[in-house]
Chains A and B, each alone.
Chain A
């Protein structure tokens, strides 16, 4: 071997899980989160006496709820439960009337006009951002207390959900069948009916079922602001401090949510 050959000792190779840029970005996010948390904790008003009292208060409330007033279920709660289901179902159906056109308009591949997409998207975002309880407040102010306000509240809230999901489903559809129809000279209406709709159907049913499930849950509480359904029974029982009836209503709400979930699972199994 030549003596003049200097063999370089290789530097130990380093391994880093993330590049420098990635690490800084991740650190920035963690820092922001920590700051937000600390700031929130400091400025949030917590009255210590209430906090220490909490277990005793909860215990007291649970005691007053027992025994549950089961008789009330048949007399006061049942009609309100039925009304709740009607509100949820009608509200969901009503929302479809508006959600379908907006869902079609917000999909960029179906409606190429950018401005129309944007407007439709704004409408859908606005619908989703306002809580169904707040919609209920609004419609109670418009229509007066009762189930009409509740139905519209559910409907207007659901438009955003159904419309957005529809739009996303349409945008992710394979282009093939659509292009074939366009090449054959189909009108826009035919394109929708024969190209988009058949592919949309299974997803559509799934979306509607999901929203109906959520709506039953939501409808149960709308009565707290006067928009009909079993929430009104809950509200009056709480105002009168009739805790055993409150317990009965809570059980009823719990039961109806479970029944709805089972129904949706069964329908899903059979149809989808």
Chain B
């Protein structure tokens, strides 16, 4: 009986993958050197880190009022930006659907959505701070823009994936365009829209905690000044509070989804 001709290579990584992995490793080392990383810096950094953690514990509660005001403002920004963003993304997303709208209209809507997507919310916040001044209004406007960018794109794509048959039947009853959208298109995409909307609500809550760093309102401003005062114990308090509200926000979003049968 002869031995098997070749050992099985079922789970071995193929040559292409191995080359790719080596390339990635080589790049990592190259990038690290370009950025000036060295082992000594890293070890020093660990030391700093340990001291830093020491200064953060225990969390400091003396500036509770500032924190409460900041969190309240953060929630306001998140709520308003999400509402306005969701309400605006519905029609804009519809306008961007190539299977529903004539070419130029959908092109324009998609271009608008692309622009809204491409800039980071912080940069948009800076621009709005320049336009409407410091404060939560700039934050709200910045997050409305990022909401439209996110929901608008995904919603247009969802509409383009719907079954054409269901729409055809509603058209055949003589329904107006709006009624065709209401009964033929929306029932097919509404669950996904609610999913995008709740995701964006969560995302806005997270982003609203940081736009304050550039002056657009919310707890980010409180955080920045705490850092600048080296008040790291307060920093820890703020961070823990932020994590807590985001977790609560996620749980709330899940129960809302259940109420609306998503």
Residues of chain A touching chain B, judged by Cβ–Cβ distance below 8 Å, are 22, 25-26, 28-29, 33, 36-37, 39-41, 43-47, 50-51, 53-55, 57-58, 61, 82-83, 86-87, 89-90, 93, 125-126, 128-131, 133-134, 137-138, 141-144, 146-148, 151, 193-194, 198, 217-218, 220-221, 224-225, 228, 234, 238, 250, 253-254, 257-258
Contact = CB atoms under 8 A, between A and B. Distances in A.
Contacts of B45: 142-143, 148
Nearest to A219: B120
Nearest to B28: A93
B154 interface: no
Contacts of A217: 120
What secondary structure prevails in chain A residues at the interface with B?
A: helix
Given A36-B79, A37-B83, A90-B28, A134 B239 contact: yes
Contacts of B180: none
Given A29-B259, A93-B28, A131-B206, A57 B131 contact: yes
B250 to A, nearest CB: 8
Contacts of A141: 52, 227, 230, 232
Given A46-B135, A57-B130, A142 B120 contact: no
Contact of A147 (B36, B42, B206, B235): B36
Contacts of A148: 35-37, 41-42, 45
Contact of B137 (A51, A61, A198): A51
B233 interface: no
Interface stretch (B90-98, B156-164, B241-249): B241-249
20 contacts: A29-B259, A29-B260, A40-B75, A40-B76, A40-B79, A43-B76, A44-B80, A45-B135, A50-B132, A83-B35, A89-B27, A125-B246, A129-B243, A130-B239, A137-B224, A146-B36, A148-B41, A193-B11, A221-B123, A224-B122
Counting contact residues on chain B (CB < 8 A from A), the size range is: 35 or more
A86 B35 contact: yes
B242 A50 contact: no
Contacts of A224: 122, 213-214
Contacts of B232: 141
Given A126-B243, A129-B246, A37 B79 contact: yes
Interface string B176-220: 000000000000000000000000000000110110011000001
B35 A228 contact: yes
B220 to A, nearest CB: 8
Interface string B27-60: 1100110111100011001001100100000000
A173 B131 CA distance: 50
Contact of A58 (B131, B140, B223): B131
A41 B118 contact: no
Contacts of A257: 118
Nearest to A50: B133
A33 B83 contact: yes
Contact of A44 (B36, B119, B120, B137): B137
A38 to B, nearest CB: 10
A43 B137 CA distance: 12
A207 to B, nearest CB: 16
Interface string B7-35: 00001000000000000100110011011
Contacts of A89: 27-28, 31
A154 to B, nearest CB: 12
Contacts of A254: 118-119
Contact of A37 (B80, B136, B259): B80
B126 interface: yes
Nearest to A46: B137
A87 B35 contact: yes
Nearest to A198: B11
Nearest to B115: A254
Contacts of B132: 50-51, 53-54, 57
Nearest to B25: A93
Contacts of A238: 126
Contact of A61 (B35, B48, B73, B131): B131
Contact of A125 (B76, B243, B256, B260): B243
